[in-house]
C-alpha cells in the first residue's frame, strides 16, 4: 500500500484566509473606486483624481498564526493523526497477510507442478484460483487506500473547520481586522513577532478540546 501524505491543513487554511483577505480589501476600497470611476471624460477614459486615497478603516488591527507551530501542538490534530496512523497500520497488516497467503499458495502450486503432482485440470483450476485471488488482492489494496484517504480528508476537514471557526470568534472578540496565516505554505513572507498570537491560539484551542473531550 502506498505511503499516505500528511493532511493538507496549511494549504486549506491558506486558501481560506487568502479569500477572506481579498474580500475584505475589495469591500474597503470599492467605495473609493466607485467615486474615482465617476470622473470619466467624454472619451471614456477615466480622468485622474488627485484626491483619491486608499483609506484604511479606523482601528485597523492585524495578527497572524504560525500554522506549522499550531499543527505541531494542537492536541486534536495530533490525536486524530495518531488514530489514523494506527488504523492504517492495521489495514497494512491485513493486506500483507493476504499477500503472503497468495505468495505461499503460488509457491506451493509451482512446487507441485514441478513434482508432477497436478493433473492438467488441477493446474488450470489452481491457476484460475490464483488469478482470482490476485485480482481480489489488488481490489482490496485499492479499497483500503481509498478508505484511508477518505478518513484523512474527513479529519482534515474537521480540524480546518474547528480552527477557522475559532479564529472567526477570536477576531470578533479581540477586534482584529485580519488574522493571517504564517507558515511554510503561506504567502506571508515576514512579519513582526509582536503580531504573533500562535501561543494564545494553541492554548485556547487545546483548552477547548480537552474540556469537550472530558465532558
In a domain, 150, yes or no: yes
* Signed CA dihedral, 67, 68, 74, 77: sign only: positive
pTM for the whole thing?
0.66
Q: Would you say residue 13 has pLDDT above 90?
A: no
- Predicted local distance difference test score (pLDDT) of residue 36: 46
**Residue 43 domain-assigned (yes or no):** yes
Q: pLDDT tens-digit profile of 166-206?
A: 999 999 999 999 999 998 888 888 999 999 999 999 999 99
CATH number of the structural domain spanning residue 144: 3.30.910.20
44 φ, ψ to 5°?
A: 90, 0
CB-neighbour burial class of residue 97 (10 A; exposed 0-12, middle 13-18, buried 19+)? exposed
Mean pLDDT value across residues 149-160 = 93
> For the chain, how many structural domains are there in total?
1
In a domain, 4, yes or no: no
Domain-embedded: residue 139: yes
Does 2 fall in a domain?
A: no
Q: What is the pLDDT of residues 106-122, one digit of tens each?
A: 999 999 999 999 999 99
Amino acid at each position: 500500500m502506498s505511503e499516505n501524505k500528511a493532511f493538507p491543513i496549511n494549504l486549506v487554511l491558506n486558501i481560506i484566509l487568502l479569500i477572506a483577505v481579498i474580500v475584505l480589501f475589495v469591500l474597503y476600497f470599492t467605495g473609493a473606486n466607485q467615486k474615482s470611476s465617476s470622473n470619466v471624460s467624454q472619451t471614456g477614459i477615466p480622468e485622474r483624481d488627485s484626491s483619491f486615497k486608499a483609506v484604511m478603516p479606523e482601528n485597523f488591527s492585524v495578527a497572524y498564526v504560525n500554522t506549522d507551530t499550531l499543527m505541531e501542538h494542537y492536541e486534536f490534530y495530533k490525536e486524530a493523526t495518531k488514530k489514523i496512523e494506527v488504523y492504517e497500520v492495521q489495514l497494512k497488516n491485513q493486506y500483507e497477510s493476504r499477500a503472503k497467503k497468495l505468495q505461499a499458495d503460488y509457491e506451493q502450486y509451482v512446487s507441485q507442478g514441478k513434482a508432477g503432482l497436478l493433473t492438467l485440470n488441477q493446474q488450470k483450476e489452481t491457476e484460475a484460483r490464483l488469478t482470482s485471488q490476485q485480482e481480489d488482492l489488488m481490489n482490496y489494496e485499492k479499497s483500503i487506500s481509498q478508505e484511508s484517504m477518505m478518513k484523512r480528508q474527513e479529519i482534515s476537514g474537521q480540524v480546518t473547520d474547528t480552527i477557522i471557526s475559532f479564529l472567526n470568534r477570536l477576531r470578533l472578540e479581540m477586534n482584529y481586522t485580519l488574522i493571517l496565516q504564517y507558515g511554510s505554505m503561506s504567502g506571508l513572507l515576514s512579519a513582526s513577532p509582536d503580531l504573533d498570537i500562535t501561543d494564545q491560539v494553541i492554548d485556547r484551542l487545546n483548552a477547548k478540546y480537552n474540556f469537550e473531550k472530558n465532558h
